[in-house]
Structure 1
Amino acid sequence: MQSLDEPDARQTADAERRVSELDSALGKALARLDEIQAEAAALDTRRTAAAEALSVASREQTAADAQLATLLQVQRAADENAPLDDWLNRRGLGALPRLWQKIRIDHGWETAVEAVLRERLHALRVGDLGELGSLGADRPPVKA
């Protein structure tokens, strides 16, 4: 049987000190890991909220783009009515502003105003109805 030597007190103290240092470093690393995981969770929550806000903004932009496309189409149709334009120009009314160029609509009411007025948005703004007195016998061309 072999006998075991007494452990060296200095080596034991060094090993215990090293274990204590490693335990302390491990505790600090675990605490930092907890902090990083909490930060990651907070960032994930912010990312989710930002993605949702982006989705809402994208839907609103798509709706606004569609509304703009519709308005431009209606405006082009009104602007491209050559017979009516000729008739208006012959009577000196071609330069009058259209209703849609003069009215200001509060935010959120655009769709309601468009739904109610429709083609009337292209009506001419006449300052004095007396200017229209001579037009009774000369009707504008019919809508194509």
Structure 2
Amino acid sequence: MAGPTKDKQTAAQKATRFDGEKSNRNVKGNSKVRINKSKLRELADKLLERQGIALELIDKSLNSKPVDPDAVASAKWVIASINSVIKSASAEELGSFNARLKGKREDEIEEQTPSEIAKELKPRLSLVYVDPSDEEDEE
């Protein structure tokens, strides 16, 4: 009698590793492109969590149910702020990414060319030979 046989794996299980858990491998091949997350993303995530509550309050208000006016004002602010915070976070991330891509930042001073540096500096060495006997005669 043959030993215990393994169950046949499905195509989905063969495509994954570690007993059905999906692989963490980057299949797109763009591992060198990273975008640093903006700190505004945390605020955007918190606002998105509260979006459902805000929409419920606005719906109640539109259906003429009694709702606290301050709560409705806060709900309107949450809905209006989501878009602007996400746009700001995206712009900040894109600016940071482009700055890294170019290798420069706005606050960095541009490098001087060697000719500009030479104009500012006094020469340390003189390449003209002065005969010591000529110096004594002058004094």
Q: TM-score, normalised by structure 1?
A: 0.29
Larger of the two Rg values belongs to structure: 1
**By percentage of residues, which structure has more helix?**
1
